[in-house]
Structure 1
């Protein structure tokens, strides 16, 4: 049998024989068989500038993994030894934040296994495109007893389900000659829900989480930098090597505490090699990016979108959203943007997500782009959110759609209320019938102490809505504007059978009854009409039939007692339900203002589902 694969440099088909069978195995598209010849073609002496650029954060490829001047951290030897000594189906997962050196370690492990041992057959998944067919048949036909097979994948979260199913298949076939080396950000692994799957039922599963730098690794790294002179050592130049290593170790531990979701390894290197010069360092980089024309803009414009999200600690920018923002093809993102930016040590890819190399870079870049280049980042956040929703409306899968739709909450909580409201309005303009966006915008106005604006959002809606939370929130906003009759009317709609096919639940009913009872008590205080406090007591009696927490029980009991103090008799459950309905109709008739014609009138409402929830025998209520 032969294995055939393509090499990217010579562009020719090469066949690697590993037995005398006449069968030909062609490596699937997106996969590469790693052997000594493959590595030899990529091994080269790197000049000092190339190595320094790598230490500055350029994304590693095979040439860095093979370069003897780039230190091998202890984890490389440890995992390599474990893999070589293991004779069972096993998955080793390398995780950690971006900037922990995972990919470099991943490539170095593979390089060492292939160069040091003859018995390894390594299959590297170098293209994890979602739409690429998974080579199930090819994997099932991997020959036994010739190699110890290693299936290796960076960005493993993108194909995690395929990998899990393959592990299960190998388990059934008792393939103890196959192992997996997987690598991705821990957050991406969790987003793919791969952490929820029972890997240990089918294989030996080990997760190696990389975080920071060990003392031994600091010594190796400083020795590597020292070989490059002042450019390698940066601000550490001239120090005793042991002292320099100690400063690197201290910086790593500090980064671990300061940035929970950022790479402590890369952050420590930035701090000790560049330090206070980071801003000047980035000004030079940004000037270079401005000169590089891509698509219909320049690389600086594209970089601004990336730093915008990362500077806010928002890990939701994907290739699909950036492609929609820049009005380009998805395939253009790597070729024209993330690839060149990666060469400049500016960005990193985690699965389908795009980041800068470290949040400190993003934050400083935003500062420079705002001050020197006059970028308006409020507009950038709006553009990106609009792009996410537009892409979704075109049928594109957006993994963090919910976070994009309610991105306004992030800025509102940070005190940028103006941006939050503008952002929500922009998305509502794209999809004006989205009840969740309407409700969310109203909440923003309400929390900003703008009750009239909150109410106006609902009143300006031109579409008929059948959604309980929509009417409950509208009821709250009208109550905040002292329109208690309207609030009662809308709470009634939210409770009714007409508004939604799905039956009303305990939580929604509690919210509606709480608001309605309060509104009835407010009308009684305002007009001294006994029927309103009677309705208040009836609603509270109904509320006490729900499954409640102690606070809600106390609230409803207080209102029952208050109605009794006003001379209201006790009601049976069915009697209370009838009083509530009459009270809703009475409130509707004296509504403080005219409402849109599409809103249901109170005399159309029935409450069979609500009565069922309360376990009340009712007919046509």
Structure 2
């Protein structure tokens, strides 16, 4: 039986980016490893290729070690795990002003000598936390050594294996790292020399080779080719593989996707890579896995590698050339790469000029009029001669066609608000390019979950005269992939591949790729669509005129010049940058005073269409939710929340709700968010729903259903991008004077999560502001034991004080600072807030009962509070006023330890004369301690 070498390749954990999400991920990977060990035994090695932390802090490495690395070592063995750093393992606050150019000019910086190690020492402070962390598993601090690389030679299962770990992040500096990095050519050369006689050579690094400086990239590729290595790296956050040339030889590069890229319901997917090398068979079997949110398990990633290599559930990659020569057999020439055939991936369509004829078909008058009223365009509508071509179509198409003659990829982006006509222009630009030049081929992204693979830089056929256009609407969903692929294409000289993108400007500007990065990309060009010019307006009016009064609407009877002027004026009157001036103008001019009648007919139609035959909800319910949020200009209703509110599965939402609403020109989607086609439609709909009893929809229930759905999804472990916005929706309505609705929403949240102290405090604050202190107090007296949250007890104390219960006020402010209340000790802000409340309560108790202990407690608490740093003006004012009241009553300033003791005595006294009994779970007086407060105040020896 042939010997094999098996490993697990992980990368890009970014520990610290999202504590809760990563704890879930760590657990899921460990369970996956347990299952593999049960089925196949432990892997021979685990390789982790960088970006272990997100910001290179000791706390992030501690969390990674405690929650993942050490449990993994228990399963596979400490010595089997090897790590190298990535760019996120660099503390960029250290040595931030070093010069890459000066280092490259140095003749010795990357030499594997004592002198070279001494020069590199200046950069070691940037890796301090990583170096300390890596001592957990590998006592050899190789970053500080002369070799400057990790070296391992071992016989594994009878195979002589050499492993070389590189630091590709030595020169990491900023977001413009690509093309500026190097692991040090001399270090690589010496390291490979040390393992040159091993049968299998594995090199670990973080960055792909196209991130290296051109002066080093080619020589290092040549070294890799000469030694015919397997290069394992990360950084690009997707599973990938490629056979690469180096000095006439071939080597294989394997990329592991990000172990943690995002929570499970975000658009990015967490990935890992298993591999098994069989030297005698001269092939490497790989299994790319990704996390499947629907099934809550790891599943094979069938889009990671080319189908030509797949055999069942594995991909068999040929080992190039004589990477691992078979013993006893003569050397042969390097294996030729198999001919590549490109097939459009799932969710994409591949179109040639002749394909357009199949997409175009006659359109009915009703369809065109519905389009003018806001219906979403599709190929058939966009290609219709009855739909005018905007000037921007010609401009972008000509730019794309001209870029076809360039030697680099072009990225052409159409930006604008929803309802600006972007999607129509997007379809028509694709058509214009294909009809103008038959050599172009179009890859159109038509599936909302369709991914864009960086491997296309290798897989797209390169033919004489052929040009490729990769096109995507809602392009914010693939922005990072486009950016990476554009650079990969540029590095490979692929001037035959270009991009046409379309997106809402708000979503595009919020992607992880910053605007300056796009602007630094050669060939990048933006077109911002806002409103109409005279040529566009004239073409639109001419299109309306074909349908006479049915097309012109309120403009019927006007001359063309008058109609064009009115359309231009209407488009310029749209003041919101987030609403489409184009669609807004169309709706107001075509419908005018008939807008409400139009929307009422829409509501009637939607009310007649059930979402599911077995359930009572209709499309009117769905549209009500969408309109409710858009009318308030709260653009964070996600598909997940909408599906939950409707009681349907997320997978049913597109076909059963979003598509029919789009057909009715009622709804639009952008990424994960759902809107009406224009806010004017939403406002008209909500006005009708609020002021008539014609429809079985109660507007306030719409908002309650949605905030409950969002909170319940959070309770089930789903990640919601806008969770805090849902929780603050009650504040929005309170500030608008809709106190009843605001309190209703806050109460609903408390019902969903009864122990969430934050939500209960929010409800109490709203009730107090609304002039209902009794209800504010009852919110706390009815509460079960909350999660640890000091502000809960302070807000409760305030509610008691507002009702004249000053003893309970003082006691609860003391409980807010006590050790048993929360795992975290009290901080400066919380302490100042609670001491101020405690001092006020004690002052009022003294004035009511003449008890000296209470005015002494007032003075002691005020003095301690005023000694705290970073006091906000309000807390400082309250504390100063109470200190003055205590001084006026003859109380002198206490030393800090005596002051804290006096605070405790006054708190216990207040508990003894409390106005009402509290729940059993509230801390009793005899058990209260303040060790955390002592530490904050610098009283290390405790109370006297």
Normalising by structure 1, report the TM-score: 0.89
Q: Deviation at 1:503?
A: 3.1
Residue of structure 2 equivalent to 1:100: 420
Distance 2:530 2:753 in 1: 42
User: Structure 1 or 2: larger helix share?
Assistant: 1
Distance 2:750 2:358 in 1: 54
Q: Does 1:70 align with 2:387?
A: yes
The C-alpha deviation readout for 1:74-118, integer Å capped at 9, x for no partner, is 222222233333443443333332111111121122221122123
**Partner of residue 345 from structure 2, selected from 28, 33, 36:** 28
Which range moved further: 486-495 or 185-194?
A: 185-194
**Partner of residue 472 from structure 1, selected from 782, 794, 798:** 794
Describe the SS at the equivalent of 1:26: coil
Q: Does 1:233 align with 2:552?
A: yes
Distance 1:607 1:140 in 2: 64
**Partner of residue 382 from structure 1, selected from 704, 716, 730:** 704
Q: Deviation at 1:211?
A: 2.3
Pair 1:374–1:128, CA change in 2 (3 A): closer
**Partner of residue 53 from structure 1, selected from 358, 370, 392:** 370
Describe the SS at the equivalent of 1:332: helix
The C-alpha deviation readout for 1:115-136, integer Å capped at 9, x for no partner, is 212343332221122xx66534
Which range moved further: 448-457 or 568-577?
A: 568-577
Pair 1:435–1:40, CA change in 2 (3 A): same
Pair 1:235–1:136, CA change in 2 (3 A): same
**Partner of residue 299 from structure 1, selected from 615, 619, 622:** 619
Q: Point out where structure 2 has 5 or more consecutive residues left out of the alignment.
A: 1-305, 308-337
Residue of structure 1 equivalent to 2:470: 151
Residue of structure 1 equivalent to 2:586: 269
- In the alignment, is the contact (CA less than 8 A) between 1:28 and 1:135 conserved in 2? no
Distance 1:512 1:414 in 2: 30
- In the alignment, is the contact (CA less than 8 A) between 1:464 and 1:599 conserved in 2? no
- In the alignment, is the contact (CA less than 8 A) between 1:389 and 1:401 conserved in 2? yes
**Partner of residue 759 from structure 2, selected from 431, 437, 443:** 437
**Partner of residue 604 from structure 1, selected from 902, 913, 927:** 927
Residue of structure 1 equivalent to 2:646: 326
Which range moved further: 338-347 or 373-382?
A: 373-382
- In the alignment, is the contact (CA less than 8 A) between 1:226 and 1:232 conserved in 2? yes
Q: Deviation at 1:599?
A: 0.9
Describe the SS at the equivalent of 1:24: coil
Pair 1:605–1:334, CA change in 2 (3 A): same
- In the alignment, is the contact (CA less than 8 A) between 2:341 and 2:459 conserved in 1? no
Q: Deviation at 1:35?
A: 1.9
Residue of structure 2 equivalent to 1:559: 882
Describe the SS at the equivalent of 1:526: helix
Which range moved further: 492-501 or 341-350?
A: 492-501
Larger radius of gyration: 2
- In the alignment, is the contact (CA less than 8 A) between 1:492 and 1:602 conserved in 2? no
**Partner of residue 91 from structure 1, selected from 403, 411, 430:** 411
Residue of structure 2 equivalent to 1:313: 633
Which range moved further: 492-501 or 194-203?
A: 194-203
The C-alpha deviation readout for 1:115-158, integer Å capped at 9, x for no partner, is 212343332221122xx665343454224465443322112233
Which range moved further: 331-340 or 293-302?
A: 293-302
The C-alpha deviation readout for 1:591-618, integer Å capped at 9, x for no partner, is 2211111111244233333233333444
Describe the SS at the equivalent of 2:455: helix
Residue of structure 2 equivalent to 1:112: 432
Residue of structure 2 equivalent to 1:16: none
Residue of structure 2 equivalent to 1:413: 735
- In the alignment, is the contact (CA less than 8 A) between 2:342 and 2:461 conserved in 1? no
Distance 1:245 1:456 in 2: 62
Q: Deviation at 1:405?
A: 3.2
Distance 2:641 2:874 in 1: 44
Describe the SS at the equivalent of 1:181: strand
The C-alpha deviation readout for 1:453-499, integer Å capped at 9, x for no partner, is 11111111122542112112212212212222222222222223322
Residue of structure 2 equivalent to 1:512: 834
Q: Deviation at 1:271?
A: 1.0
Distance 2:787 2:609 in 1: 50
| More relative contact order, 1 or 2 (CA 8 Å, 6+ apart) | 1
- In the alignment, is the contact (CA less than 8 A) between 1:495 and 1:610 conserved in 2? yes
Which range moved further: 447-456 or 222-231?
A: 222-231
Normalising by structure 2, report the TM-score: 0.60
The C-alpha deviation readout for 1:13-45, integer Å capped at 9, x for no partner, is xxxxxxxx9532221101112321222211233
Which range moved further: 520-529 or 546-555?
A: 546-555
The C-alpha deviation readout for 1:433-466, integer Å capped at 9, x for no partner, is 2222211111121111111211111111122542
Pair 1:571–1:301, CA change in 2 (3 A): closer
Q: Does 1:499 align with 2:821?
A: yes
Distance 1:503 1:50 in 2: 65
Describe the SS at the equivalent of 1:600: coil
Residue of structure 2 equivalent to 1:9: none
Q: Point out where structure 1 has 5 or more consecutive residues left out of the alignment.
A: 6-20
Q: Deviation at 1:177?
A: 4.2
- In the alignment, is the contact (CA less than 8 A) between 1:156 and 1:183 conserved in 2? yes
**Partner of residue 913 from structure 2, selected from 586, 590, 614:** 590
**Partner of residue 898 from structure 2, selected from 566, 572, 575:** 575
Q: Deviation at 1:197?
A: 8.3
The C-alpha deviation readout for 1:392-428, integer Å capped at 9, x for no partner, is 3344443322222343223322222222222322332
Residue of structure 2 equivalent to 1:122: 442
Distance 1:434 1:550 in 2: 29
RMSD of Structure 2 on Structure 1 (CA): 2.7
- In the alignment, is the contact (CA less than 8 A) between 2:711 and 2:723 conserved in 1? yes
- In the alignment, is the contact (CA less than 8 A) between 2:621 and 2:697 conserved in 1? no
- In the alignment, is the contact (CA less than 8 A) between 2:797 and 2:809 conserved in 1? yes
